[in-house]
A and B are shown apart, each in its own frame.
Chain A
């Protein structure tokens, strides 16, 4: 059951108001907490308003891909847990959770946030694999940005376990994972002709389309994804990028 009638939301938007009282460009209250899960090499919990996700990073040793023999690997997975929303079902990852994971992956990979060569142990044979697992705890809208931020927060404090060439000793941590960049993601949805940052759940349900933008410290855009079954107008793109650049600075500050 939807909680907001479309005409009500649009009437408010036409007056410049969102149903939760924010301005179009505002983020909700964002919280990051650490010390979530001690067996993870790095873990973080992020809240955007009532949206909550937990991300954990595990490091394992494995074989590199044949065409990148001196590079480690990153694998991002996401579970949109059925406990987090009445609309999520048990079972194999839905296409939405696959999209969520791949968009988080894209920003991290394309911004070279992790120098993959530094993950090489023995060229062609052994490299570190960075396994990032996203779990949604409550869907209050915009799981995408919350997941991306939580992944960064978890990576930032991740430490290598010790490896003697034969076995990994998870009880002994060595150095920090080398993080070169913090590519935060900012999403904007379009409802009628209004552009709203950090959509809450009611806005996401009513949206025409959503644009997620991955942004590095240098204001380079390293990833983009249009989601949803509607369209943007050509003129929307510039404004969405602008507001996202501004919001990405706010989010990055929280990671420091």
Chain B
């Protein structure tokens, strides 16, 4: 029975969120997104020339995402360089952001999104997606909607939102379900599951994810407003 969360939060309560723009000065757009002890930065470079040429799409621009964890972002050092895990996360991140961006004005070009995890306490791919969404908007890339991502799941017998590392490793059983929404379109662009969960629980968890994403959207809107409204 998981009666109280390990860090005392409510089952539908997110960890503290903090976001900032312009963290990479020379990039077209950049952002930091922090949730609890997970810190992600994202930077957008482009639209720019895409090499190798055979990858160019003459009809529209290409989105290319790269997710990476810094070696010291976790207790057990990660050897620098891409891993199978980081390459998979790069791909699902790209697939999470693609439905939101409109690159029809940039044929043959590429928009590169780089995500680095500086400190990890679970939910890194979701934090990366939230940071990337801000960075894309900051760069002026046309978007149908922002993208908000959060992990939901089941810890013990409870449906929870925003699992931390301790909850992911909980001995009484833990299922992790990262979800990304285009909040205004009510569209899901990222959905993964790692564990064991029944259909009713999944649907409940998705509802919880949707509500949480509305809170994340507010944070994103506020940080964009703070930078741009008074210009």
Contacts and interface: CB of A to CB of B under 8 A. Distances in A.
Nearest to B64: A90
Contacts of B118: 36-37, 54
B25 A38 contact: no
Contacts of A86: 26, 45, 48
Contacts of A41: 72
Given A37-B70, A37-B118, A54-B70, A83 B25 contact: no
B120 A83 contact: no
B71 A138 contact: no
Contact of A83 (B27, B39, B75, B80): B27
A39 B52 CA distance: 38
B181 interface: no
A58 B26 contact: no
A32 interface: no
Size band of the B side of the interface?
A: 20 to 34
B114 interface: yes
Interface in A123-151: 131, 133, 135, 137-140
Contacts of A139: 26
Contacts of A90: 66
B199 interface: no
Interface in A19-77: 36-41, 43, 50, 52, 54, 56-58, 60, 77
Contact of A138 (B26, B39, B76, B77): B26
A198 interface: no
B26 A40 contact: no
Interface string A77-92: 1010111111000101
A83 B71 contact: no
A170 interface: yes
B73 A83 contact: no
A140 B24 CA distance: 10
Contacts of B81: 92
B72 A84 contact: no
B204 to A, nearest CB: 32
A82 B114 contact: yes
A83 B70 contact: no
Contacts of B112: 82
B12 interface: no
Nearest to B66: A90
15 contacts: A37-B39, A37-B73, A39-B73, A40-B73, A52-B25, A54-B70, A56-B70, A83-B24, A83-B27, A83-B45, A84-B24, A86-B26, A131-B71, A133-B70, A135-B116
Interface of A: 36-41, 43, 50, 52, 54, 56-58, 60, 77, 79, 81-86, 90, 92-93, 131, 133, 135, 137-140, 170-171
Interface of B: 23-27, 30, 37, 39, 41-43, 45, 48, 66, 68, 70-77, 80-81, 112, 114, 116, 118-120
Given A82-B66, A133-B71, 11 more contacts: A37-B73, A38-B37, A54-B70, A56-B70, A82-B112, A84-B43, A86-B26, A93-B80, A135-B116, A170-B76, A171-B75
